[in-house]
Structure formats: structure tokens, C-alpha cells
Structure 1
Amino acid sequence: MNIVVIGSLNMDMVVRTERAPEAGETLFGQGFALSPGGKGANQAVAAARLGAEVTMIGSVGRDAFGSELLEVMRQEKINTEHIVQSDTHSTGVASIVVDGEGENRIIVVPGANMGLGVSDIALLAPVIKEAGIIVLQLETDLPMCEHAAAMAHSYGIPVILNPAPARALSNELLQHVTYLTPNETEAGILAGMAVNSVEDAEQASRILLQKGVQNVIVTLGSKGALIVNKDGSMHIPGYPVQVVDTVAAGDSFNGALAVQLTGGQALAEAVRFANAVGALAVGKQGAVSSLPYLPEVEQFLRDAAER
């Protein structure tokens, strides 16, 4: 089954430092790297490395970063036929500060990612209609995302929406979402409440179910993930690992979830597998460079079962 990822492609500019600077403060960093990224690209690569057939829909600039991102996607055996090269926008970039604890602070300049609009998606109806699942995030044009979700819903194609970066979403969009995958902060923003515990996450999820989402899966970092739907709630524990950086942790989770669901796995098992993929991703630096291949995940799960 083909996974269609509609989303962002960015070049990540990653600075490593012991701690993030305060306002007006200058610090020395320990390292700098350019790394292919963007939530859409990360999720597409995550799924492809786990053995899925993946089509990426997005937009880059007609510049060096855009050419590099296209080449990376092709090397990962992702169908790039529907990635547009814009003549009017530069490729999106993300400025990422990673501190000594592996936590990250990110500023995204979307550039060409915002150039993909409703009219572009309308032309891709045949691609969406044949998808096994559609994966969306919020680093692109919101009306475009709304149109893509509505189109997929009309064809009976399940939709994963990773609501990052978080922003206000219409109930109409949420009613077209099969699987909503916020982290704790995003769940709180969408539900209009503070989320500081698993219990809070469940309460926020219930609010989102009332808005029309079918399944809410709140990612809880090292604590794993919480599934909430009309059948109840289930906490799927995470895997204890040494964190190097959390860049692309959520993206690896979403790519893995899409692979498992298109493969026919039950939701709880799919989330358990996605937790393992996320655990492996936080053990390496970078975005695309941190995403694991299927044999690594299978070995990790075998080792975890023996512990």
C-alpha cells in the first residue's frame, strides 16, 4: 500500500550548544551541521526506510538546497514526481538549537513549502485516491491541508495529521482526521488546556474527539504514547534510551505509524512499534540521519523483549 506524505521539505541548520542562550546573550557552540529535514520529508524517509512505498507531495525552491533535498528523496527511493520546484520561493529552512540535554528549539522559515496550494492538491486527486494512507503536518499552507484531508476523507482514505507546529484548527478539518498525533504541548494548544500529565493528555484527547477526530495518539516522549478513541484509552509505554537529540523523534513516530497501519497492524501494536522507532531516532544526531532502517528496529524490539 502506498503512503502519500503531503508536507514540508526544509534544510535544517543545526547548532549544538550546552544550553540555549538567554535573550541578548551570545554563547559558543560545539558544532554546526546542514541536514536535510522538514517534517514532511522526515516522515517520508522514516516510512521508506521501514520498507514502505512512499510518494512525497511538496515544494522546494529552484536552488542548491532544493536540488539537494530532491536528491536525498530519490536516494531513499521515494517517488518525487509530485515535488514542485518553485521559481518564486526559496527552499524552506529550519534553524535548530540542540542543548546538552538533547532538547531542541526550532525556528522554521517555510519558503517554498507555503507555495503548494489548494489548486495544486486538487490536480493530485488520482494520487490521493490510490493512497493507502495520507500523512499531513502543519508546516505547509493550512487551506491546502484542509483540502487534502477532505479529499482523502471523501475517498475513504485514512488521514494521519501530525499537528505540528500547533495552531488553531477548524472542526471541519478535525472531522476528516482518522489519527491525530500531537505531543503534549500540541494537544494542550488544540484542546485549550494545560497538559502536564498522562491524565491531562487523556482529558485533552477527549475534547479533541468531541471535535470530530476518530483517534488521538498523544506522544509523551520517554513515557511512550497515549491512545484515546471511542473505545477508551490505552497507555503504550516508551523504551528507556540515552537521548542524543530529539530532532525528528515525532516524525519517525508518524512515519512508522503510517507503515504499520497500512500493513494492517492493530493500533496498539502500531503505536508500540512507532515508540521503538522514535526511541532509536533520539539516540542519533540530526533529522534524516537519525531515522532507523527496519532491521535496526526489529533487532531493538528483540533486545527489548529479552530484557
Structure 2
Amino acid sequence: MTNKVVVLGSLNVDTTLHIAQMPKPGETISAKSKTNSAGGKGANQAVAAARSGAETSFIGQVGEDGNGTFMIDALKHDRINVDHISVDDTHGTGSAVILLDEQGQNSIMVYGGANQAMKPAIVASSEGLIEASDILISEFETPQAVTLAVFKLAKQHGVTTILNPAPAAKLIDGLAEVTDLIVPNETESASLTGIEVTNQASMAANADKFTKMGIKNLIITIGDRGAYYHTATNDGFVPAFKVQAKDTTAAGDTFIGALSSEINKNLSNIEEALTYAQKASSITVQRLGALPSIPTAAEIATQYK
């Protein structure tokens, strides 16, 4: 069965500056090179889902500029439905500047632009698309009010909702109750719960806190260590695949997009889907860039026979 995945999210043109090490406060350094590519958490997640075989559609907004055309064309290249991307004639297309050091670590500065200018009214024209989908994903690079409106609509039609709370921010009222699965990294999870993630007991404590908020299912991604999962019936920790990372950009987004392509609507195969997602993200970190680094299902199957 092929999952029908809808991503509500951000579309950014990424500018990556390749540097030897991160600058100290007040320090001026030289970049060794510069690259531009399509990105944004939403776009990354949608491309990851599409390349893993999901029938993928996108709800988002770009500016009336060349970068907006560039982003729409990038999604079309992966056969993603772009019919529900609107054009804002007031705000520019979102962008990001990424500092990438020789160890593969990054720092990212994001200009929201048209992404942050989205309004809940955008949802009305997307009801048919949402109704026909299996999985709906959103993150925090677009307004939470829009996510809340879309998630409410999804729940009316029995669609499974996945929330990636990144960049970390407090959930607005009502969003937890319409979120089926939340997927933060350890820093984002601790920010939302107030409980530092240090071991499996603290991961379970985070899960309890999310349950009290109204979210019964949780995956915490913990970089190169692996991922913890908790559902109403099961919990556990799945170690990561050990690889030499070149660039961690889009690793978490690849994880979520790949996960959405495999997971059952009732989350009954969460451990298997999580393992597949970790295979995908382990390939992403061995490559440079955001969208260019995301693997296909065939590449994942070849590397992990």
C-alpha cells in the first residue's frame, strides 16, 4: 500500500557557507565555498516522503519571485503535487543561511517570509486533498494557527497527524489534542516538557508529560544514538546506524518524511517504520546539502540489503 502524505510546511532557498569551524562571538572568518539549494523543513520532509514512494502533496506559500518559482519547480521534480501552494505578493519566499563546518555540524538562520505570512484561511481550499490523505505532517516554520486549523480538519476525516515541533516553541492551545504523533529531537522535547533527555527513564518521563498534554504517541530522535518511541501499547529505543557524517542538514526532516511513507495510519508498525526512517537519515548525513542528500527507496534498499 502506498501512503498518501500531505505536508503543510515551509519552502526555503538554502544558502550554505562551508567553513572550517564555527565563528566565535565577534569573530570574522572566511567561507571556503558557497552553495544554494532548495530546502525548508516542509520541502525536505515532502521530498523524503516522495522519494520513499509516498504519493505526496504540499500545502504552503511562496513569494512572487524567482525563488518561489525555483522552490515549486524543485518539488515538481520529485512529482509532488504543488496545486495547494499559494503565492504571496507582499512577502518574499523563505530563505535560510546555513553555516556548515568540517565536522558536519551546522548552524541555521531562517527568514520566514511567505511561510510565516500564511493564514488559517488557506486551509479551506485544501479540504478535499486532506480528506483523501493518510498522513498529514507539519512543523513550526509556518504559523501554529495554520497547523491547528489543518490538523482539526484532518481529524474530522480520520487522517493521522504528525507534528515536528521545530524550531522548538510552546504549543498553542488545542494543538496537542489534534496531534496523533509528535516527533521532536532531544533538545526540542526537553524544551516542551521541561525534562532533560539523558537516558531511557528521562525519555519515558518526557512521554508521560506529552501524554498529559494530550499527545499519546512520541518519537524522540537523538542524533547518532538512535530514537526512542512511545505509544499507548509499547515503547523502546532503536539504535542508529553508524556512519561517518559529512552534513547533518535535513537529517531530521529525512527521518520524518521517510517515516510517513512507511507508517500505518494506526501506528501499529512504528518500530519498523522508525528503523526504515533511520536508514534513510543515515544516508542523508553522508551527503552534502538538503534536498540533494535525501535518498530514494531504491538507494535505501541497496545500502541496507
**TM bracket, shorter-chain basis:** over 0.9
SS of residue matched to 2:15: strand
CA distance in 2, matches of 1:262, 1:38: 26
CA distance in 2, matches of 1:172, 1:86: 27
Q: Indicate conservation of the 8 Å contact 2:227/2:238, yes or no.
A: yes
Out of 283, 288, 299, which is 2:286 matched to?
283
Unaligned runs of at least 5 residues, structure 2 = none
Q: Partner amino acid for 2:117? A: G
Correspondence for 1:15: 17
Q: Partner amino acid for 1:20? A: M
Out of 58, 63, 67, which is 1:61 matched to?
63
CA distance in 2, matches of 1:27, 1:202: 42
Cα gap change, 1:196 to 1:97, in 2 (>3 Å): farther
**1:292 counterpart = 2:295:** yes
* Displacement after TM superposition at 1:200 (Å): 2.3
Correspondence for 1:305: none
Q: Indicate conservation of the 8 Å contact 1:171/1:212, yes or no.
A: no
Residues 74-128 of structure 1 show CA distances to partners (whole Å, capped at 9, x for unaligned) of 1111111111111111000011111221111111111000222111112311111
Q: Partner amino acid for 1:90? A: G
Out of 205, 208, 227, which is 1:206 matched to?
208
Q: How do residues 116-135 of structure 1 correspond to structure 2 at under 5 angstroms?
A: 116-135=118-137
Q: Partner amino acid for 2:168? A: A
Q: How do residues 150-299 of structure 1 correspond to structure 2 at under 5 angstroms?
A: 150-170=152-172, 172-262=174-264, 266-299=269-302
* Displacement after TM superposition at 1:171 (Å): 5.3
* Displacement after TM superposition at 1:265 (Å): 6.8
Cα gap change, 1:70 to 1:160, in 2 (>3 Å): same
Q: Indicate conservation of the 8 Å contact 1:206/1:228, yes or no.
A: no
CA distance in 2, matches of 1:285, 1:197: 31
Q: Indicate conservation of the 8 Å contact 2:92/2:113, yes or no.
A: yes
Correspondence for 1:301: 304
CA distance in 2, matches of 1:294, 1:47: 10
Residues 242-301 of structure 1 show CA distances to partners (whole Å, capped at 9, x for unaligned) of 000110000000001100015887111000000100101101010001000111101222
* Displacement after TM superposition at 1:214 (Å): 2.2
CA distance in 1, matches of 2:210, 2:197: 13
Correspondence for 2:31: 29
CA distance in 2, matches of 1:252, 1:289: 11
Correspondence for 1:106: 108
Residues 139-198 of structure 1 show CA distances to partners (whole Å, capped at 9, x for unaligned) of 001100111111111221100111100100035211211111000000001112222334
SS of residue matched to 1:125: helix
Residues 42-88 of structure 1 show CA distances to partners (whole Å, capped at 9, x for unaligned) of 01111111111110110011111111111111111111111111111
CA RMSD of aligned residues (A): 1.4
Correspondence for 1:75: 77
CA distance in 2, matches of 1:72, 1:237: 32
CA distance in 2, matches of 1:138, 1:72: 21
Cα gap change, 1:99 to 1:197, in 2 (>3 Å): farther
Please list every run of at least 4 consecutive aligned residues from structure 1 whose deviation after the TM superposition is greater than 6 angstroms: none
CA distance in 2, matches of 1:298, 1:112: 37
Q: Indicate conservation of the 8 Å contact 1:171/1:211, yes or no.
A: no
Q: Indicate conservation of the 8 Å contact 1:209/1:229, yes or no.
A: no
Percent sequence identity over aligned pairs:
35
Q: What's the TM-score once normalised by structure 1's chain length?
A: 0.95
Q: Number of paired residues?
A: 302
